[in-house]
Amino acid sequence: LTLVEGETLVLNDAVLAPGASISGLVTRASDGAPLDLVRIRAYDAAGVQVRALIGNADGTYTLAGIPPGPVRIRFNRSGHATEFWDDRVDYASADILTLAPGDELTGFDAQLASGGAVYGRVRDTLGNGIGGVVVTAYDPAGVFLNSATSQSDGNYGFGQMNTTSIKVFFNASNTPFESEWYDDQPDLASADLVPVTAGGSVNGVDAMLAPRGIEVLSPNGGEVWSSGRIHPVTWSASPTC
């Protein structure tokens, strides 16, 4: 809309379609006790999160205002295995709920087991630990599961994993190093799968990151400078520089 000074523009009213809602109860699988602080998320058919909330202290939740259409529901809580409804380990295998405007669905419960954990270390090519790398677990479809940031010695760890296979990305964008997927792969499609078991742990999911570099094309050309290193530069008035 383009307005000029002093102009009053009257717009037509907007009519919003009613959203759907999904309610349920989240409990601990081992003894049936209700779980508080559970984060419940709804994803659309493209894997995009459309609604999210944190459940009540008594384990109940109502996820409201969900756009109509197919959705998948995800449950996660610290110390417990993340799962999708209905007792599925990842987005690809999750049951699909097709919602109509105004739907109010109840009884969508979840029982969360103790979570599995993944540990590793991020190092440079000299074996030194790299801190500040965000290590993220995705399911094979590329849906986020969990993440952690490597410590100054390069060590990291995260839990809340169900029995499944994950792909791990080492995001080093805030460091002088290149990012990569496990194990030394360039993208999600080629990344190695890491099997995880709920209640267990996987060690040694490590990464050795190469320093980012720039290639100098002139005046001599062919030099490759690594990020984080100091290189002397001499400026010349010569038109060839």
The string of pLDDT tens digits covering residues 10-55 is: 877 777 778 999 999 999 998 999 999 999 999 999 999 999 999 9
CA distance 39 to 76: 5
Is the pTM here over 0.75, yes or no? no
The string of pLDDT tens digits covering residues 96-128 is: 999 999 999 999 999 999 889 999 999 999 999
- pLDDT, residue 241, reads 41
CA distance 113 to 32: 10
Residues facing 144 on adjacent strands: 138
Residues facing 99 on adjacent strands: 69
Peptide bond into 183 cis (omega under 30): yes
Q: Are strands 49-54 and 164-171 parallel, antiparallel or unpaired?
A: unpaired
From residue 226, give the alpha-carbon distance in Å to each of 136, 213, 218, 229, 235.
25, 4, 17, 6, 20
Collapsing DSSP to helix, strand or coil, 137 comes out as strand
The string of pLDDT tens digits covering residues 174-229 is: 999 999 999 999 999 999 999 999 889 999 999 999 988 766 666 665 666 555 55
Q: How many helical (H) and strand (E) elements, i.e. helices and strands, does the chain have?
A: 0, 20
Q: What are phi and psi of 173, to 5 degrees?
A: -65, -20
